Amino acid sequence: MPELPEVETTRRGLAPLLTARRIVALHVHDARLRWPVDPALPAQLRGQSIRAVERRAKYLLLRLDRGTLILHLGMSGSLRVLPAGTPRLAHDHLDLLLDDGRLLRLNDPRRFGCCLYTEAAPETHPLLRHLAPEPFDPAFTAAALHALTRRRRVTIKQLLMNGRLVTGVGNIYASEALFRAGVRPGRAARSLTRAESTRLWRAIRTVLRLAIRAGGTTLRDYVNPAGSPGYFRQKLYVYERAGQDCRRCGTPIRALVHGARSTYYCPQCQQ
DNA sequence: ATGGGCACCTGGCTGC
DNA sequence: TGCAGCCAGGTGCCCA
């Protein structure tokens, strides 16, 4: 799925199309997502206007008049804005009909995504409450990242992918950030020096920023709201490049598995 | 508190 | 050609 850059690209694509639009109806074609779509949801949303399209970690938040729609794209989800009446394809789950004759359509083959609604402050929602600060929030500093790594026995890659500690970084960008920082993914988090933590902090922000600029990374499913893929895949240094030459030093990239997730690194550039 | 492993799904690819 | 096996961008939950 979509990691932070793909969700942010989606948010930026949706915001101008959805902001100030009124919801005419919600059609649920297939309620089976990570959690079933609440049968009461269409009645709750009808008539509300979309005030803002925000993002928290990898969640999209549609701020409505009375509440917030919380969307997650899971591993394979995507959102498109289409003219009403566009024929449905396999795995189209939801259509949010808008007052301008368009609709917001959620497609998610693997059904790991979700669509939830709350009328409480979204930051208090159980799914959002424990999330770490955003990578571009002033609270996420090199010193804060270094402090997180102290006394932790998990690998630094697993730490990066733990949303309670760092948000927005998934399997692709964890490998890419560690390459840029020159740190091997299998290192115990607590073994990082302050200088390494600082390099990693900078690398996380750089790789996310560059990926957003490229419209995210499309491996298989991901498309932005206009239906276009992201172009960061061509800029990846290590992810899915096992056996290929390191772009920096020429050494073959290695792959290994951490916590059931594929990990890629350059044995020469990363120590 | 921390960490490990499993679970939830479908589809696409590989190799026999 | 068919089919089994494996892998895929996330993350909540249960258990030690």
**Domain edges within chain A:** 4-124, 142-265
Residue A163, CB, less than 7 Å from strand B? no
CATH placement of domain A4-124: 3.20.190.10
Q: Is residue A1 very low, low, confident or very high in pLDDT (cuts 50, 70, 90)?
A: low
Quick one: what percent of chain A has pLDDT higher than 70?
Answer: 100
Bases of strand C lying below 7 A from some protein CB = 7-13
Report phi then psi at A243, rounded to 5: 85, -20
- CA A79 to C1' B1 (Å) is 37
CA angle A261, A56, A94 (to 5 degrees): 85
- Identify the CA nearest to A64 among candidates A123, A124, A16, A22: A22
**pLDDT mean across residues, chain A:** 96
Closest residue by C-alpha to C1' distance, nucleotide B9 = A110
Specify the CATH architecture of the domain A142-265. Orthogonal Bundle (1.10)
- CB of residue A109 closer than 7 A to nucleic acid strand C? no
- Which residues have C-beta within 8 Å of that of residue A179, sequence separation ≥ 6? A203, A237, A238, A264, A265, A266, A269, A270
Q: How many CB atoms lie within 10 A of CB A74?
A: 17
- Residue A151 φ/ψ region, left for φ over 0, alpha for ψ in the -120 to 50 degree band, beta for the rest: left
Q: Supply A184's token pair.
A: 């091997």
Q: Tell me, in Å, how far CA of A97 is from C1' of B1?
A: 45
| Nucleotide minimizing C1' to CA distance for residue A164 | C11
Averaged over A147-167, what is the pLDDT? Answer: 95
Cα A73 vs. chain centroid, distance in angstroms? Answer: 8
Give the CA-to-C1' distance from A177 to B4 in angstroms.
Answer: 24
Nucleotides of B under 7 A from a protein CB: 2-12
Mean pLDDT, to the nearest integer, of A210-220? 95
A2 touches strand C (CB under 7 A): yes
Whether pLDDT at A121 is above 70: yes
- Give residue A60's identity as a one-letter amino acid code: L
Q: Residue A260 CA to B4 C1' — how many Å? A: 11
What six digits make up the tokens of A94?
């939801």
Per-residue pLDDT, averaged over A187-216, amounts to 97
Residue nearest to nucleotide B6 (CA to C1'): A260
pLDDT at A257: 85
Torsion from C-alpha of A11, A16, A17, A22, nearest 10 degrees: 100
Of the candidates A261, A231, A216, A236, the one whose C-alpha atom is nearest the C-alpha of residue A73 is: A216
The arithmetic mean of pLDDT across residues A16-29, rounded, is 98
A57 touches strand C (CB under 7 A): yes
* pTM (two decimals): 0.97
Nucleotide nearest the Cα atom of A76 (by C1'):
C9
**E strand or H helix at A107:** strand A102-107
pLDDT of A133 > 70? The answer is yes
The residues of A carrying an active-site annotation are 2-3, 58, 261
Q: Where are the alpha helices (DSSP H) in chain A?
A: 4-18, 41-45, 142-149, 156-160, 171-181, 194-213
- Rounded Cα–Cα distance for residues A54 and A12 (Å): 9
Determine the distance between A236 (CA) and C13 (C1') in angstroms.
33
Q: Which nucleotide is closest to the Cα of A171 by its C1'?
A: C9
| Nucleotide nearest residue A155, measured CA to C1' | B3
